[in-house]
Amino acid sequence: MSMKQQIQPTAHTPILSKSLKGQMLKQKVVPYLFIAPHLLLFIIFFAIPAVVGIYISFTKWNLYTPPKWVGFKNYYEILFNHDSTYYMQLRNGLGNTLRFVLMSVPFCIIVPLFMAIALNTKTLGNKVFQSLFYLPNLLSISTVVLTWVFMFHRRLGPINNVLKIDINWFGTQPFTWTAIIIITVWWCIGGNLVIYLAALAGIRQDLYESASIDGANAVNKFFSITLPGLKHPLAYTLVLTTIAQFNIYGQPLMFSKGGPKATTHVMMMYIRELAFGSGQSIAGLASAMSVMLGLCILSVSTFQFILMRNND
C-alpha cells in the first residue's frame, strides 16, 4: 500500500470532525447560556441605571423637562460650597451613614459567628433554632421596624416595662442609634449565620481531636482551627455586609424619621428627598450625592479586597 493511500482520510473522518466541532462549540456556548439571565438582569437593572445616573449627576433635571448639562456644578455645590444647604446635607448624611456602618457591621459579623459556633452541634432541636434565627431575614424591613417600634414604645413597649426604665428610644441619643443597631442586627444575622454554619461543617473534626490530645482548650481551638477555617467566609460576609449597611434607609426612616436634630438622617434619606420629595425635584444633585455614596462603597470594598488578597 502506498503512502498516499495510508494517509488518505476515510469516509467517516468528516462526520467525526463535525461531531467534535459541535461538542467544542457546545462547551463554549453552554456556560454563557447559564449566566445569560443573570447578565441580562445585571445590565437592565444595574449597569444601565448606573450609567444614566452618572450622566444625570452632571445635569440640572427636575424629572419632567429634558436634563440640562451643567458640568461639575452639582459636585461643587455638595463638596466645596460651604454655604450651601446641600453641602451640609452631604456632610451630615454621609457622616451618619459611616457612623452606622462602623457601629453595625462588627455586630452583624461577630454575633452570627458565635451563634453559628453554638449551633454547630447535633443536639436535639438544633435545626429548629437555626430556622428561628434565620426567619427575620425573610421579613420585609417594614414588618421588622413596625414590630420593633412596638417593642421600644415608651409606655406600652415590653423593653421599658420589663427593664423598669423610662427611655425615649425614638428621640434621645444614643438610645435611638442603639435601637436601630439592635433592629438591624436582628434582621440581618440570618444570612451570615447560614454561611458560617456551612463553613463550619466543612472543617475537619480530626483537627479538633488532635488539638484536644495536645491539650488545647476551647479558646486555642477557636483561634487556631475555627477562625482560619472561616477566613474566606468571614471576608466574603464582611464585604457584603458593609455594602448592605451603606445603603441603610428603612430603619431610621420608619423608626425615628431622621432622629433628634437629624442625627439619624442618613445619606439615602437625603437622596430620596431631593429626587422624589415634596416640592420640585432636584434629581441632578440627588444623582451627584448617589455617585459620592457609590464611590465611598467602592473605596471601602476595594480596601477590604486588598486586605483579603494580602492575607492570602
Closest CA to 255 of 183, 155, 206: 183
Contacts of 187 by beta carbon, 8 Å cutoff, 6+ apart: 136, 137, 139, 141, 144
Residue 265, C-alpha cell as written in the block: 438622617
Instruction: Reply yes or no on domain 101-265 having CATH 1.20.1630.10.
Output: no
CA atoms of 180 and 185, how far apart (whole Å): 9
8 A C-beta contact, residue 208 and residue 221: yes
Instruction: Give pTM, 2 decimals.
Output: 0.84
Instruction: List residues bridging with 69 in a β-sheet.
Output: 59
Residue 19, C-alpha cell as written in the block: 461531531
Annotated domain spans of the chain? 101-265, 269-312
Q: Tens of pLDDT along the chain (312 residues)?
A: 444 455 455 544 455 566 777 777 777 788 888 888 999 999 999 899 999 999 999 999 988 889 999 999 999 999 999 999 999 999 999 999 999 999 999 999 999 999 999 888 877 778 888 889 999 999 999 999 999 999 999 998 999 999 999 999 998 989 999 999 999 999 999 999 999 999 998 888 888 888 888 888 888 888 899 998 898 899 889 999 999 999 999 999 999 887 788 899 999 999 999 998 877 889 999 999 999 999 999 998 888 878 777 666
Q: Chain centroid to CA 61: how far?
A: 30
